[in-house]
Amino acid sequence: MTFDLSTQVQLVARPHGWPTPDDFRVERELLDELAPGQVRVVNEFISVDPYMRGRMNDAKSYVPPFQLERAMTGGAVGRVVASRSEIPVDSLVLHQQGWRDVAQGDAGGFQVVPRLPGAPSSVHLGILGMTGLTAYVGLTTIARMAPGDTVFVSGAAGAVGSAVGQFARLLGASRVVGSAGSAQKVAALTSRYGFDAALNYKDAPVREQLPQLVPDGIDVYFDNVGGDHLQAALDSMNRHGRVALCGAISGYNATDRAPGPDNLTNLITRSLTLEGFTLGDHFDKAPEFADVVTPWFREGKLAYDETVVDGIENAVQAFLDMMRGANTGKMVVRVS
């Protein structure tokens, strides 16, 4: 087979508030013949991630917005089916041409990665990929976690959050606490991911629940949610505590501005540090991440879960479900 047709998901309207299926469409495109130095890849899995919601807005950010009526992009992993480059056919490659079933481009945009025994190729999008690297950078470089620290993680049952909790435990945290949105996810945090305690933010205000789980305060807060979680964490931060601001999914689809935390004076009185980050500034940490985390994975010290949706034509629904918290662990779309 030549795989010269590519089924792609395009953004056709910029959402106001929550995206809807009408903001997207699925198109088929005939690919050009391979040029020298190019590869053609049949994707196995594509990644859908919260940051993609921001790219749907026509606004200045750390990454350009998606173009209307053009195939969207994002993390993907797949198999090379044709090559006019140094990358051999049948190589497994990681790249940023997601939201399509067949990708093509210059070989420099495709990174060869190993197939790991007993693991799906999607781990290169999750625990061993950008997701894991985000968790590692936020915890070690931004929050400067040290052995003995108490760590609180919001969105802890998601792909990044569940990695943060496990990395913190393996790096010597004295206590790891997480927040999630269902009893099932809360149970998974303590039974599967090794958190010491967890709360369901739907049971009662986080501000009321959190102090009971961190009686000695918080040294590191890894924030994936923002809003009420950030406010609650600031109440419980210890002196010289550090906050890594990774995401604020609670406000991604809001149409009105939410009021800020009412306790920002704690930053002064407790000498706190809040630092936002995006992974693009920290790719230099990738070798260190691989050296530390890959052995943990091979030794069976890391648990990971995936919520798998089949079919490129269902990628939009997978994204919408992920934004509403329907996933445990990494949300991926199995293309073929």
Q: What domains does the chain contain, in order, with CATH numbers?
A: 5-125+305-334 (3.90.180.10), 130-280 (3.40.50.720)
Residues of the chain with pLDDT under 70: 1-2, 250-255, 259
What is residue 39's predicted lDDT score, i.e. its pLDDT? Answer: 98
What is residue 1's predicted lDDT score, i.e. its pLDDT? Answer: 64
Strands 111-112 and 197-200: unpaired
What is residue 254's predicted lDDT score, i.e. its pLDDT? Answer: 63
The pLDDT tens digits of the residues spanning 117-128 come to 889 999 999 999
The pLDDT tens digits of the residues spanning 33-63 come to 999 999 999 999 999 988 899 899 998 877 8
What's the pTM? 0.88
30 vs 12: CA distance, rounded Å: 20
> Position 67: which residue type?
Q
Token digits of residue 71? 């195939």
Distance (Å) of CA 132 to CA 140, 143, 263: 12, 15, 31
What is residue 248's predicted lDDT score, i.e. its pLDDT? Answer: 81
Distance (Å) of CA 32 to CA 7, 35, 38, 81, 103: 14, 8, 11, 15, 11
Cβ atoms of 222 and 233 closer than 8 Å: no
